Amino acid sequence: MRMAALSLIVLAAACDGGPYERNEGPSLEQIREVSTPSNEAAADVAGSIAFQPLTEADLAGRGLTASDCRFVRNGRLLVAAGGTAAIARIGGGLRHFVPTAPPAATGAFLEDRQISVSIGRTAPDGTAARLAVTNRRTGAEEEWAGDWACGR
């Protein structure tokens, strides 16, 4: 009997709210604070693949030289690659890429955690080439024609 009375007291204390309030979960406002930002705050998708010209200082800082491969469009150097190093200035920042194979006169495939760059000659002779860039996070894709040359 004593045990039954003690059980009733514990049960009654649990039902009246007692010192512990019921956990209703996060409020709608708390969910909004930690959720994905609205479209207004989203990053510029086109800017996520916007190439800017490289400088000789950019190349020297990564150990690239004139004998390495280069993609040039409208007289602007956009990609430099050689051996295990490759760089491009995208979205205002200098990005370092890993070539999946050593860049060669026929082209290159470069990638980092977010962006992939594919460069391929459009004809067996000459330097005409196509560059395709994809930002896997934003879904942005673009293609450009230009020149790809190695060792010049």
Indicate whether 131 and 67 sit together in one domain.
yes
Indicate whether 66 and 104 sit together in one domain.
yes
Q: Are 125 and 107 contacting, i.e. CB atoms less than 8 angstroms apart?
A: no
What is the pLDDT at residue 77? 95
Indicate whether 62 and 134 sit together in one domain.
yes
Indicate whether 89 and 114 sit together in one domain.
yes
Question: The tokens of 16 are what?
Answer: 């009246």
Indicate whether 37 and 65 sit together in one domain.
no
Indicate whether 136 and 116 sit together in one domain.
yes
Judged against a pLDDT cut of 50, whether residue 42 lies above it is answered with no
Indicate whether 87 and 111 sit together in one domain.
yes
- Specify the number of domains making up the chain: 2
* pTM > 0.75: no
- Where are the alpha helices (H) located in 55-143, listed in sequence order? 56-62
What is the pLDDT at residue 73? 96
Indicate whether 57 and 113 sit together in one domain.
yes
Q: What's the rounded Cα separation, in Å, for the pair 106 and 148?
A: 8
Question: The tokens of 71 are what?
Answer: 């993609």
Terminal Cα distance for the chain, rounded: 98
What is the pLDDT at residue 49? 86
Q: Are 106 and 129 contacting, i.e. CB atoms less than 8 angstroms apart?
A: no
Judged against a pLDDT cut of 90, whether residue 95 lies above it is answered with yes
Angle at 75 between CA 63 and CA 92, to 5 degrees: 60
What is the pLDDT at residue 89? 94
Domain ranges, residue 12: 2-41
Judged against a pLDDT cut of 70, whether residue 112 lies above it is answered with yes
